[in-house]
């Protein structure tokens, strides 16, 4: 134990943390490169090669050159996903209302879940009934 003092343990933990942080940043940059629709295929290829060949310089140059847009693109994608989810919910509710009272898969699944929650159905029975509805 005397060969590995507490300071060395702390430094090792810090290096591991920085190493994991670096990979997180690298993956975030590469993900942003591929999700950016304003970049052409050649520009994406050039950025990826730059980030792979000179990883530290490439990532830092990317963050300086395009870092501000990363946040905007992420917010825009979140808004698009939320809008798509809301559209799906509206469509499912519309389909449910068109099926009439007591009809449709959504209400049947809700009834099955309620029966399972009350203890009238076991987990296996619930899974089997759910599979019948979804097929």
Residue 49, in any domain of the structure: no
In tens, the pLDDT along 2-42 reads 577 888 889 999 999 999 999 999 999 999 999 888 889 99
For the entire predicted model, the pTM comes to 0.56
d(CA 125, CA 127): 5
Residue 5, in any domain of the structure: no
pLDDT score of 25: 92
In tens, the pLDDT along 63-86 reads 999 988 888 988 988 899 898 888
* Domain carrying residue 127: 101-135
Residue 60, in any domain of the structure: no
d(CA 11, CA 24): 20
Number of domains in the chain: 1
pLDDT score of 2: 58
Q: Are 58 and 26 in contact (CB under 8 A)?
A: no
Alpha-carbon distance values, 78 to 29, 43, 73, 74, 129 (Å): 17, 24, 9, 6, 35
In tens, the pLDDT along 52-66 reads 999 889 999 999 999
What DSSP string runs through 45-74?
HHHHHHHHHSHHHHHHHHHHHHHHHHHHHH
d(CA 54, CA 127): 52
């Amino acid at each position: 134990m005397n060969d590995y003092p507490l300071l060395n343990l702390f430094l090792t933990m810090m290096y591991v943390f920085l190493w994991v942080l670096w990979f997180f940043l690298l993956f975030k940059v590469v993900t942003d490169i591929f999700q950016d629709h304003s970049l052409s295929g050649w520009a994406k290829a050039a950025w990826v090669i730059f980030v792979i060949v000179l990883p530290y310089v490439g990532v830092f140059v990317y963050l300086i050159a395009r870092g501000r847009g990363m946040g905007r693109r992420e917010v825009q994608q979140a808004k698009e996903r939320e809008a798509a989810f809301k559209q799906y919910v509206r469509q499912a509710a519309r389909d449910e209302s068109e099926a009439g009272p007591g009809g449709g898969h959504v209400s049947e699944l809700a009834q099955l879940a309620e029966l399972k929650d009350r203890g009238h159905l076991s987990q296996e029975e619930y899974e089997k009934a759910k599979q019948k509805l979804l097929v």
